[in-house]
Structure 1
Amino acid sequence: MASPPPPPLPWVSPSVPPHVVALADDLSGAAETACALGGPVRLSLDAADVAEIAATHDLVVDLDTRHLESAEAAYAVRTALRAAQAGPPRLLYKKVDSQLRGHLAAEAAVYAEEAEAVVIAPALPAARRTVTGGVVHVNGVPLHRTDGWRAERASAPRSLPEALSCLPVRTVPLDVVRSDPAELDAEFRRIAASGAHPAPDAETDADLDAVAAAALRLGPGFRLLGSGGLAAALGRALVRPAAASPPAPAQDGTPLLFVVGTAEPGAVAQIAHLTALGAHHVSLDPTDLAAGTVRPPRGAAAPALTVLSIDGSAGPRPGMGRTLSTALGALAAAHPGRADLVLTGGETARTTLDALGITELEPLGEIHHGAVHSRTLDGRRVVTRPGSYGAEDSLLRIAVALRPRLAASTAAI
């Protein structure tokens, strides 16, 4: 039997729901959010686009704040919020990392200004990242006991209240999230009335659906802050026209360039699947890369498949991420031929597109969770994927999706 329709959202018109303005702190997260919202969406790398007042679509903007100092990141969010609020009514969404990396506290504090409350839900069930008892878990293990912060300068927070110590945060147990909608609404109101912000537990997409629906029922004073999982719940709650269908894969011999900027250990095995296909792999020494002594090849024709990666055998280098990703992006931009791109890691994706002068993407869909297939204004294909996402065959699956002729070659891998 079909589920009954959800109750109407009092301030959201069923016929013309307001468009969403989502603010992300890195490009792979912005692309994930744009895809999660589900309808026609513009994905911009230019923060000034938030001021666009004639929007006829959802807008996701990468504020690119991960590499900034905390105060600079907060200023970027405040500026974008003011621009968004100067135009017609639009739903606000703040995309944050499901492992709580970045300037979470500083950006959340600014996002909470003038809000009745911020509903904080970073769970991402599709990537097995859940929240119970106010603690983020990765594959069932508390975040602070994982190596998810290996490349960060600080230690992972033990809970959401600790991660957001600048804000009064009250956790909402799972049984309340799964209770009658009126009870969940009342709990959110009680927390807001006390001057605090609700942080509901969530283990499934259905939990996030309940959280998003409650925030929408309570009106624009309740702002949503979460990962791509909550963005997808928001997309399911809002009726949108279908997004554009992806065009047919390229058949013209256009080279395919993988730029792997992540420090995740699993990247080694992912790259191995590509080299087994015959991909040309260039592993770059991070010291040489940071020093600017690596030079792109001159005059050579680009191989059909190329992988640029950073040699991580010496372990992560905290604090060096932006320097390395900028140098890697510059090398990618200088790669011979006009290659389609697969970019892993938000900073790597951003610096590569910056080096190429690309300021806007049209999201077309997901190849697998988090691997977002987009198109540039001039027709180049770009796939972005967070560095921590994807199984061992992630890059292989992306390669086959973009170049179906490779499928026959994968049987022996």
Structure 2
Amino acid sequence: MIAVIADDLTGAAELAGIGLDYHLKTEVNTTVEINCNADLLIIATDTRSLKATEAKTKVHELTRQVMALKPHLLYKKIDSALRGHVLDEVSSHLEASGLKRALIIPGNPEHGKRVVNGTYYYKNIPVHLSNYSVDPDFPATSSNVRTMLRADENLPLFKINEKIPDAGIIVGEAAGVRDLEYWIEQADNNTIIAGASGLFNRLLKYLIREKDTAATPTFTQESASRLFVFGSTFHQGRYPIEDTLINNVPVVYLPIELLGNDNMPQHLYESFTGSVVQSLKKHRNTIIAIHPDITKGIYIDPVQLTRKMGAIVNHINQQAPLHELLIEGGATAWAILSELNISKLYPIKQLSPGVIRMGIAGNNQLCVTLKPGSYEWPAPVWETTTYS
């Protein structure tokens, strides 16, 4: 078994999609089941949304439980741009696992995310000058890798071909795909590997060496009810909106009154969810989103926002049972699936890198497609028929 602990749900789904390509029996779960027989077990967490101390405690316990399954390898899925509590969590994994060494490889060269001479570049510019600088939760204020990790100069940072120690936490630079392969070759049975999807893909290629050619999604039947959930204003400017439609799918925006209050006024809550239900019944496809203009100059607590999204989607599903949920953003996905009491999923199809359609254990009526907030929705999801 290969075991993965991911710091958010969409990252977990992304790795599950990669596992599909390598014929691995893959499971995404939020808990560790002692009788798990998966080839690839991915434990999804929401630690990126927690405080650092809470994240450390949670991953320590999960790591202890995962190690009881005696996995062949432990992989830590982190954000490629080092958002979250990367160093704190990796330290906790190392302590709980009993392993000697952790190797952190930031970036994802295939997506233009590279580390050269201690500096993180996104599309050839320092990351703090990119749109990652306006991330609502973890804005990039520096492109120095140690600073991004909230570490001091004592954290070892190595280039390829430099001798690395046998113990402790090590950060490796990667300017290209071959660098990722080099670092994988340096890991041994006493090493936790921490990185993003590109590194994991190269790891499976190194271990298994067989991969399917990705198939283009096909369409076979009409969908009864499909709800898109955009839980943040981040990156929304890239969607062309015409007459409250995005790619011919109607959009229902959350009122500012629902966003700005600690508690949602009941009449507004019922009015908004009722509008979404009516749109679903009429059009079958609907997007709920936050209009970027209404939040300018206003602080919206991200934790409260995701909880509200979860409650709203749960209420909509009770009134008009959904067949497809398409969710953007890991924290939003976590809150929604928690409200729907969904804890165990399995990958059905990778629609594009990072965009994964998931089935739900014990529920053949609903499928969930998950996507990181920084990725694009692929063209197939905008069709009015469901994908198979």
The aligned residue for residue 202 of structure 1 is: 174
Alignment of 1:225-264 (within 5 A): 225-239=194-208, 249=219, 251-264=221-234
Amino acid across the alignment from 1:400 = E
1:75 Cα deviation after fit: 0.6
Q: Which shifted more, 130-139 or 36-45?
A: 36-45
Measured against aligned partners, the alpha-carbon deviations of 1:305-328 in whole angstroms (never above 9, x if no partner) come to 100001222348667112112212
CA RMSD of aligned residues (A): 3.0
Counterpart contact for 2:227–2:322, Cα < 8 Å: no
Q: Which has the higher strand share?
A: 2
Which of 105, 116, 122 is residue 87 of structure 2 equivalent to?
A: 105
Q: Distance in 2 between matches of 1:240 and 1:279?
A: 41
Identity of aligned residues (%): 23
Measured against aligned partners, the alpha-carbon deviations of 1:70-111 in whole angstroms (never above 9, x if no partner) come to 111001111011111222243101111111111222112212
Which of 297, 305, 318 is residue 285 of structure 2 equivalent to?
A: 305
Q: Distance in 2 between matches of 1:232 and 1:396?
A: 23
Does residue 144 of structure 1 match 2:150? no
Amino acid across the alignment from 1:268 = G
Secondary structure of the 1:156 match is coil
Which of 61, 65, 69 is residue 83 of structure 1 equivalent to?
A: 65
Gap runs ≥5 in structure 2: none
Change (3 A) 1:223 1:351: same
Amino acid across the alignment from 2:381 = I
1:247 Cα deviation after fit: 9.1
Q: Distance in 1 between matches of 2:79 and 2:355?
A: 15
Gap runs ≥5 in structure 1: 1-18, 177-183, 406-413
Measured against aligned partners, the alpha-carbon deviations of 1:196-232 in whole angstroms (never above 9, x if no partner) come to 53322223333212222321xxx21121001111111
Q: Distance in 2 between matches of 1:54 and 1:322?
A: 31
Secondary structure of the 1:169 match is coil
Secondary structure of the 1:307 match is strand
Which of 353, 357, 381 is residue 398 of structure 1 equivalent to?
A: 381
The normalised TM-score by structure 1 is 0.78
Alignment of 1:42-191 (within 5 A): 42-47=26-31, 49=32, 51-113=33-95, 114-150=98-134, 151-152=136-137, 156-162=141-147, 163-165=149-151, 168-173=154-159, 176=160, 184=161, 187=162, 190-191=163-164
Change (3 A) 1:317 1:168: farther
1:290 Cα deviation after fit: 4.9
Counterpart contact for 2:157–2:171, Cα < 8 Å: yes
Amino acid across the alignment from 1:364 = I
Alignment of 1:251-400 (within 5 A): 251-265=221-235, 267-270=236-239, 272=241, 275=245, 277-291=247-261, 292-293=264-265, 294-295=269-270, 296-297=273-274, 300=278, 301=281, 303-313=283-293, 314-315=295-296, 320-335=301-316, 336-377=320-361, 378-379=363-364, 380-390=366-376, 394=377, 396-400=379-383
Measured against aligned partners, the alpha-carbon deviations of 1:218-266 in whole angstroms (never above 9, x if no partner) come to x21121001111111112122288789999645143222110113323x
Change (3 A) 1:254 1:353: same
Counterpart contact for 1:289–1:328, Cα < 8 Å: no
Q: Distance in 2 between matches of 1:23 and 1:206?
A: 24
1:123 Cα deviation after fit: 1.6
Kindly tell me the number of residue pairs found equivalent between the two proteins. 364
Amino acid across the alignment from 2:314 = A
Q: Distance in 2 between matches of 1:43 and 1:149?
A: 34
1:56 Cα deviation after fit: 3.6
